Amino acid sequence: MTLDTWVTGWRPRDLNAGNFPQLRGAVLANYFSDPVFRKMLAKPPEADPAAAVMAWATTFGKVLTWDDIGWLRGLTKLPIVLKGICHPDDARRAVDAGVDAIFCSNHGGRQANGGIAAIDMLPDVVAAAGEVPVLFDSGVRSGTDMVKVLALGARAVGVGRPFVYGLALDGAEGAVHVLRCLLAEADLLMAVNGWPTIADVRAAGAVRVR
């Protein structure tokens, strides 16, 4: 469950370009193809795109709170992961609510500029989460970044933009090439530093130098 968009941030580049593709009915296929969403509409999205977009905006704008986690748990047996936790207090509250994992992320800063980097918050979030796994993304651009994140306590690392850049340049093969390069760089960095396994990386740890 993504936590960063109670409202959309002030995004000058999008405003200057007049770019909000959802309001034009783009990038909403996951909604428009969903049978539950389609039942909410008087007409299918293909027949009345504008009404479908407004229904999406109304649905997307409903804010969830901590009290809704119990309701969500009652809907599914799947693991519940909260993505967007960057403060130890929120991590502790998520653990108390019974979530299965925490995703420490500011989503690449796509909503609020000028905040604390997510990686600076990661160690405190990991400590607060205890035995609950912490995943991480936000600004991961290299295999070196991946190793640093693992050393700071994350259980797994998410890669966003580099993967998409490869996809844009050369389709699936481009995405695979990017991932292979990231893994190769991480493997070499571990070898240079004498860490044969990820367990060794975690045992070595890392210290933020300012």
Q: What is the pLDDT of residues 164-194, one digit of tens each?
A: 999 999 999 999 999 999 999 999 999 999 9
Catalytic option among 85, 91, 107, 154:
107
Please determine, for residue 91, whether its predicted confidence score (pLDDT) is greater than 80.
Answer: yes
Q: Are 62 and 83 in contact (CB under 8 A)?
A: no
Inter-CA distances, 174 with 44, 142, 146, 160, Å = 35, 15, 19, 14
Lowest mean pLDDT: which of 13-27, 29-43, 74-88, 112-126? 13-27
Task: For residue 107, indicate whether it is catalytic.
Answer: yes
Tell me the CA end-to-end span of the chain in Å, nearest whole number.
32
Residue 169: both structure tokens together: 């340049």
> ∠16-31-14 over CA atoms, to 5°?
5
The C-alpha atoms of residue 120 and residue 117 are separated, in whole angstroms, by 5
Q: Please, is 72 exposed, middle or buried when counting C-beta atoms within 10 Å of its C-beta (0-12, 13-18, 19+)?
A: middle
- What pLDDT band is residue 210 in, cutting at 50, 70 and 90? low
Domains, the chain, with CATH or none = 12-60 (no CATH), 71-204 (3.20.20.70)
More confident of the two residues 20 and 204: 204
**Mean pLDDT on 2-11:** 77
Please determine, for residue 47, whether its predicted confidence score (pLDDT) is greater than 80.
Answer: yes
Please determine, for residue 79, whether its predicted confidence score (pLDDT) is greater than 80.
Answer: yes
